[in-house]
Amino acid sequence: MTRAVVLGGGMAGMLAASVLAQYADEVVVIEADRFPDGPQPRRGVPQAQQNHMLMGGGADALDRLLPGTTAALYARGAHHRKIGQLLTLSAQGWFRRLHSDAYVINCSRPLVDHVVRGQALREGTIEVIESAKVTGLTGDAGRVTGVRAEPDRTITADLVVDATGSRSKAPQWLAELGLPPVEEEFVDAGLTYAGRFYEIPEGTRDDFPGILIQTEPGTGRPGRGAALMLQEDRRWIVCLMGTRGGTPPNDEDGFLEFARGLRHPIVADLLSAARPLTPIRSSRALANRRRYFDRLPVPEGFLAIGDAALVLSPNYATGMSMAAFGAEALRDGLENGGLRPGLSRTVQAAVAKAGEWSWQMATGNDRWFPGAETNIRSRRLLGLDLGGLLGPLQRGFSTRWARTAADNLQVAEATYAVTALSAPPEQMMTPGLMWAVMRGPRNVPLTAEQAIAQYPEFGDLLTAGAIQARDGRQ
């Protein structure tokens, strides 16, 4: 008789439990919160009130883990959007509209959680204990044997999976068993979100494209950006974001003023015709944070996945996908001999590998915002500071890449596929793409008017006159 216990019933927890249900006789999820009956926000996942985009690569992983998940999302009104169809003002200019395969799913986070939870629990093979807060582990430094939770209970387990999210106490619980400290790295650009739901104005089409105004690293000024997306219930969610020194306010006037002061005021223009439905909510402390459980002498019977192991800045919209990739790493490990000695070490290493590129990408960008803080030491070789030498070169190359992607459809397509986590980063490293990037952009950059005119879906939401006025002001 084998038992697996999953700590936390969020995205990572539910996915891990659904994988374990195929290999353990009993699977128990312990969740501090109570689950709502429908797609409603809940206390345990406060970030769910902010914009969440599900990357196509993560969505495909959800379907591999729980077949039918994306179909269920679309049936509930989620929107499938090709990334090349989002109106995007990148750090390097407006993108040309492009028909590429890379996609995202736009819908509320509570809907994603509701559907994933429903899919995971549909067979009735997973026991869920709600309103129970995990407070520690049992066992010793070599083997975790179970968990302690409040109200007063201890559950023994052959495998304990920590999926309690970014505020995981697992490093402390493991230290109590005699393990060394878990190494932790962070890069904190001081990112803050301010988000709000709006009733969409009359005339908004179902194929309304999302809008992204991306934050610009490396300019010496705080990054400021916005996202405006259509949700499943014909609401807009608007997210304003800013890094240290550029925090979006959460009062009425400040919120709109911030949107109007962005590199283009299209979001403010659209909001002027929309009715707010909720208060403005801020989310702070949105740093990248990595806990290297894989560098421990990993005890038997313990694993950490999802945000408990790797928190990525929400600016890159990859956290839910990482939860899915972590569950796939667990599935792969279990396929290779089930619950067995050495499983934890193998899977913890695979979880770390699955997040490696996204970590490098997010932290490589975020450290270029002013006032960014990090505890990652630059590597040294023969007394030389490699980070100090190579960092500006890497930044220069990324900037050139982004500038070319705004202009060159092949470079944009490869970038989108990798951004959507649908293709490995090596796919961007072909000689043809490298040559295109070295040559740089060949066309005159799009004006705002030209970029917006690529989207008849806006209909009358924006008047030509307003766009021209903006264009002149740029």
Ligand X SMILES: Cc1cc2nc3c(=O)[nH]c(=O)nc-3n(C[C@H](O)[C@H](O)[C@H](O)COP(=O)(O)OP(=O)(O)OC[C@H]3O[C@@H](n4cnc5c(N)ncnc54)[C@H](O)[C@@H]3O)c2cc1C
Q: Which of 144, 211, 323, 330 binds ligand X (CB under 6 A)?
A: 323
Judged by CB under 6 A, does residue 69 bind ligand X?
A: no
Q: Which two tokens stand for residue 374?
A: 């990090």
Which residues is 184 bridged to in the sheet?
291
Cα separation, 226 vs 315, whole angstroms = 10
Q: Tell me how crowded residue 135 is: count the other CB atoms within 10 A of its CB.
A: 12
Judged by CB under 6 A, does residue 306 bind ligand X?
A: yes
Q: Which of 320, 324, 414, 418 binds ligand X (CB under 6 A)?
A: 320
Residue among 287, 281, 256 at smallest CA distance from 271:
256
Question: Least Å distance between CB 429 and ligand X?
Answer: 25
Question: Least Å distance between CB 409 and ligand X?
Answer: 25
Cα separation, 312 vs 189, whole angstroms = 12
Helix (H, G, I), strand (E, B) or coil at 308: helix
Judged by CB under 6 A, does residue 319 bind ligand X?
A: yes
Cα separation, 27 vs 3, whole angstroms = 6
Let me know how many helices (H) and strands (E) the chain has, helices first.
Answer: 14, 25
Question: Least Å distance between CB 113 and ligand X?
Answer: 7
Q: Which two tokens stand for residue 12?
A: 């990572």
Judged by CB under 6 A, does residue 146 bind ligand X?
A: no
Cα separation, 6 vs 20, whole angstroms = 9
Residues 243-302 that bind ligand X (CB under 6 A): 283, 286
CA atoms in the 13 A half-sphere facing the CB of 413: 11
Q: Which of 2, 125, 127, 133 binds ligand X (CB under 6 A)?
A: 133
Judged by CB under 6 A, does residue 139 bind ligand X?
A: no
Residues 6+ apart with CB under 8 A from 282: 192, 193, 194, 195, 248, 250
Percent of residues in the chain assigned helix, strand, coil, to nearest 5? 40, 25, 40
Question: Least Å distance between CB 52 and ligand X?
Answer: 4
Question: Least Å distance between CB 239 and ligand X?
Answer: 8
Q: Please report where in the chains the tokens 């796919």 appear, as a residue.
A: 427
Look up residue 88 and give its amino acid: T
Question: Least Å distance between CB 15 and ligand X?
Answer: 8
Q: Which of 317, 402, 420, 421 binds ligand X (CB under 6 A)?
A: 317
Q: Which two tokens stand for residue 439?
A: 């040559």
Whether 53 and 211 have beta carbons less than 8 Å apart is answered as: no
Whether 48 and 94 have beta carbons less than 8 Å apart is answered as: no
Cis peptide before 151 (omega within 30 of 0): yes
Cα separation, 346 vs 132, whole angstroms = 29
Smaller CB separation from ligand X, 12 or 24: 12
Which residues is 283 bridged to in the sheet?
193
Considering only 138-146, 157-165, 376-384, 461-469, which stretch makes contact with ligand X by CB under 6 A? 157-165
One character per residue 158-177, x = contact with ligand X (rule: CB under 6 A): -----xxx------------
Smaller CB separation from ligand X, 133 or 395: 133
Judged by CB under 6 A, does residue 307 bind ligand X?
A: yes
Give the DSSP letter of residue 68: T
Judged by CB under 6 A, does residue 422 bind ligand X?
A: no
Question: Least Å distance between CB 414 and ligand X?
Answer: 21
One character per residue 29-68, x = contact with ligand X (rule: CB under 6 A): -xxxx----------xx-x--xxxxx--------------
Cα separation, 68 vs 194, whole angstroms = 33
Smaller CB separation from ligand X, 163 or 189: 163
Question: Least Å distance between CB 315 and ligand X?
Answer: 8
Q: Which of 4, 13, 83, 187 binds ligand X (CB under 6 A)?
A: 13
One character per residue 186-225, x = contact with ligand X (rule: CB under 6 A): -------x--------------------------------
Q: Which of 246, 314, 333, 355 binds ligand X (CB under 6 A)?
A: 314
φ/ψ of 262, rounded to 5, equals -70, 175
Judged by CB under 6 A, does residue 321 bind ligand X?
A: yes
Judged by CB under 6 A, does residue 231 bind ligand X?
A: no
Residue among 159, 136, 235, 141 at smallest CA distance from 3:
159
Smaller CB separation from ligand X, 347 or 446: 347
Smaller CB separation from ligand X, 50 or 363: 50
Smaller CB separation from ligand X, 286 or 417: 286
Chain contacts with ligand X (rule: CB under 6 A): 7-13, 30-33, 44-45, 47, 50-54, 133-134, 163-165, 193, 283, 286, 306-308, 314, 317-321, 323
